[in-house]
Chain A
Amino acid sequence: MKFYDVLASLIHDMKNSLSMVIHTLDEITADAAVDFDKPARMTVLQNEAKRLNNNLIELLTLYNIENERISPSIEEVDVAIFIAEIMAENRSSAEANHIELVSDCDPELFGYFDENLIRNVLNNLVGNGIRYTRDRLLISAAQEAGYLVFRVEDNGSGYPEQMLSKQSAEDDHGALAEGRTKLGLYFATMIAEMHRNGEQQGFIRLENSHQLSGGCFSIWLP
């Protein structure tokens, strides 16, 4: 067994444990019979457990991509329902952090993409957004210029200038060590670029002050 394969199977096991931790934490917070004197500490636990889980998914997905164990399965997706599920997945976490989570999507919108891969990217972005925003997060989907565009926007202080200027996966290879935001960026880029349609290829874009005043991360899928 190679080190990478051991790592993959360990991550798998860690994910199982972590699922149990997250589910149990959710149960304790939902249980009216349990009295907390410090609910904020509970939220910290939940946030960090979710972050750990998102990181593990990233690691596992990157492992699978590098070992060519993954190829996107592009299918027709009802985008409004998909967005509703992303909302449902993150609602309780946003509430616990006193953040207003809203979405904007044409109920008739259909798209072609790998539901699982894009779900992971969006959950990551929302997880980060909860940390960096002031009190609001917007998830949206729309058809623009021949692409399906997903956006996660916040009303925090926005992306720093040097991040806005370097926006391709190539630029980021050397910068991985700089922090996990960069890893997230790399991950999202990889997933976006795996989506192709004819000559077109998916990409990501970072900007500030799109609809909300803070950062706006968008994924463009052909």
Chain B
Amino acid sequence: MASKIEQLSFLIVDDYGDMRGVLRNMLQSFGVTDIDSVANGREAISHIESKRYDVILCDYNLGEGRDGQQVLEEIRARKLIGVSSIFVMITAENTRLMVMGAVEYEPDSYLTKPFTKDLLAQRIERLLNKKADLLEIEQAIDRREYELANDLLDRRIAENPRNLNEFVKIKADLALKAGAYDQAEAIYSGVLSQREIAWARVGIGKSYYGNKRYQEAKQVFQGLIDGNERFMAAYDWLARTHQAMDEPEEAQKVLETATAHSAKAIVRQRALGELALRNHDEKVAERAFGQAIRLGKHSIYKHPSIYANLARAKAVTASGDAALMVLRDLKKAYKGDTEAKLYSSMTEATIQEDMNNGARARQCMIEAHELYKELGTQAAPELALDMARTCNRMGETERASELLHQAVKNNHSDELFLKAVGETMGDLGLSEDPGAMIAGIKKEIVRLNNRGVELAKLGKLDEAMLLFEEAVVGMPGNKVVNLNAARIFMLHMNESGIDTDLLAKVREYLERVRQMDSEDRTLHKMQSMLKQLLRNSANPEKRENG
């Protein structure tokens, strides 16, 4: 049952005092008493950090600082509000058009000014009912209990409710995320056989992409753009598809068109810049990274690599000095951040080398090496590529080659990333045939994983443990290896009881994977396995039975 509006707590975010007053009066006329109001994004975040609001009414335009969308992104990404909270974006006009389907976080509803208090009441009631209807499912998804969520969805779908498609959409989305692309495709096709609907069409494209049917995926996304040239999500997916098809120039063109339609998306500007840099189109890269920095000042999507890449572009389009200025901005924007320092030192090394300041370049390189070691498995995979480029520029070819080999070993199942590694190897002239070399390393790791799993199946857990222990040392950043090692260690403890050293290792492996990809499905399975293991060891009789 949905709660009554007068019992809810509200936060009003609007830079106009008059408008805050209008909203407050409307809410008070419904009998609401718990109302706070703030004038900007910064205050909104600090209020939401310290108090749990049921409903947030937030204006899109908030003057200086974060806009409404950035407030939403930050509180949802940082999980400052739960799935049961309602976020309403208030706009002067139809802002939805500007963001259509291309943002990760959408508000629960948009409300266009001016609106009557009757409409506001009606809308809040509608949202409360919807939340109540979906709450159980959304909570299961939020807690990553996907099997439970799926069961709940199946039960609701079987009832054939009037809002059937809402449940079908969530179910298909879960299938996509689980990598069950055939299942997702079947669901979307079912929806499309009734009627052409954009979200289902995009879904079909994503299913094709997931199944590596790139040609078909391309046709779907291109078709969506032909039908609606402002369909931003279709551009992003089309660009990704081109990249997967080894067509980086095409991918760049797609994102250039998309940013010409809608320049505000930081994530897209960054992707465009990275593509342009890889295509040696520094002019486009400079513009894109510049935009991403300007737009991202108050956004969770800001990242030190954007500054480093802008510096790299500017070193070509303008001068080394201009590039060094960008690095100064980088350090100012990220005081005390190790990753940012690494980006800065690494990039500066190349720039100084190009400016013939050999001594300074060397010093930066040494700093970068140390910072990279300090980050360990926390370093983003892309950092290895940049590090390799820098090492190579400084004449440390062997180190560059080693870094790239390690990058392949740590990410052997990430096809897009491996492509980037191969390109870098080719660019730096480190390998005659990068593709074959990467395939070789991949095969080796797959064989090793399979052997370990096979040994475990045969009951030779000790041998399997030895094998994975060694593998984890050699590939500390490899998700699959870490997960498999954790699993084997837990199987062992299931039989022989808890061992504190092994338990500490399991925790460490899972924590590494969590830092790399907290959304990984196998990780969630392993986490529940660990919980189960600890529970069983607390109640030994139960273990005997189960």
Please report A residues at the B interface, Cβ cutoff 8 Å.
12, 15-16, 18-20, 22-24, 26-27, 30, 53, 57, 60, 64, 68-71, 73-76, 78, 81, 84-85, 88-93, 108, 110, 112, 116, 197-198
B502 on the A face (CB < 8 A) = no
Given the known A-B contacts A27-B25, A30-B29, A76-B165, are A89 and B96 also in contact in the complex, defined by CB atoms under 8 Å? no
Report the separation of the CA atoms of residues A108 and B22 in the bound assembly, to the nearest whole angstrom: 35
Enumerate B202-248 residues with CB–CB distance to A below 8 Å: 228-231
What is the CB-to-nearest-CB distance from A38 to chain B, in angstroms, rounded to a whole number?
Answer: 22
* Residues on the A chain within 8 Å of B231, using CB: 71
A-chain residues with CB within 8 Å of residue B230 when the two chains form the complex: 68-71
CA distance A41 to B198 in the complex (A): 47
In the complex, the chain B residue whose C-beta lies closest to that of A89 is: B119
Of the A-B pairs whose beta carbons lie under 8 Å apart in the complex, a sample of 29, sorted by A's number, is A15-B92, A20-B16, A20-B19, A20-B22, A23-B114, A30-B117, A64-B97, A68-B230, A69-B230, A70-B97, A70-B230, A71-B229, A73-B96, A73-B97, A73-B198, A73-B228, A74-B198, A75-B197, A76-B165, A78-B162, A81-B126, A88-B118, A89-B116, A90-B116, A91-B116, A110-B163, A112-B195, A112-B197, A197-B195
A108 to B162, CA, bound (A): 7
With contacts A85-B122, A108-B162 taken as known, whether A53 is within 8 angstroms of B114 at the C-beta atoms is yes
Closest to B21 in A: A27
**Is the pair B116, A19 in contact by a Cβ cutoff of 8 Å?**
no
B118–A23 CB distance below 8 A: no
> Nearest chain A CB to B138's CB is how many angstroms away?
19
Binary per-residue interface labels of chain B (62-95) against chain A in the complex, 1 for a CB within 8 Å, 0 otherwise: 0000000000000000000000000000001110
Task: Name B112's closest neighbour in chain A (CB-CB).
Answer: A116
- Chain A nearest CB from B330 CB (Å) reads 33
**Contact A89:B115 (CB < 8 A) given known A15-B92, A74-B197, A197-B195:** yes
A-B pairs, 4 with minimum CB distance: A88-B118, A19-B114, A19-B113, A88-B122
Q: Interface size for chain B: under 10, 10 to 19, 20 to 34, or 35 or more residues?
A: 35 or more
Bound-state Cα–Cα, A186 to B195, Å: 28
Q: Does B100 contact A (CB under 8 A)?
A: yes
Task: Give Cα distance in the complex from A27 to B116, angstroms.
Answer: 10
From residue B175, how far is it (CB to closest CB) to chain A in Å? Answer: 20
Residues of chain A with a CB closer than 8 A to B94's CB? 70, 116
The interface residues of chain B lying within 8 Å CB-to-CB of A74 are: 197-198
Report the bound CA distance from A76 to B166 in whole Å.
Answer: 9
Residue of B nearest to A11 (CB): B93
Contact call B22/A24, Cβ cutoff below 8 A: yes
Question: Nearest Cβ distance between residue B15 and chain A, in whole angstroms?
Answer: 11
A132 to chain B minimum Cβ distance, whole angstroms, is 21
Contacts of B97 in A (CB 8 A): 64, 69-70, 73
In contact, A73 and B117 (Cβ under 8 angstroms): no
A177 to B229, CA, bound (A): 32
Beta-carbon nearest neighbor of B261 in chain A: A69
Q: Find chain B residues with CB under 8 A from A73 CB.
A: 96-97, 100-101, 198, 228
**At the interface, yes or no: B48 with Cβ under 8 Å from chain A?**
no
- Asked if B355 is an interface residue, CB under 8 A from chain A, the answer is no
- Closest CB in chain B relative to A52 CB, distance in Å: 11
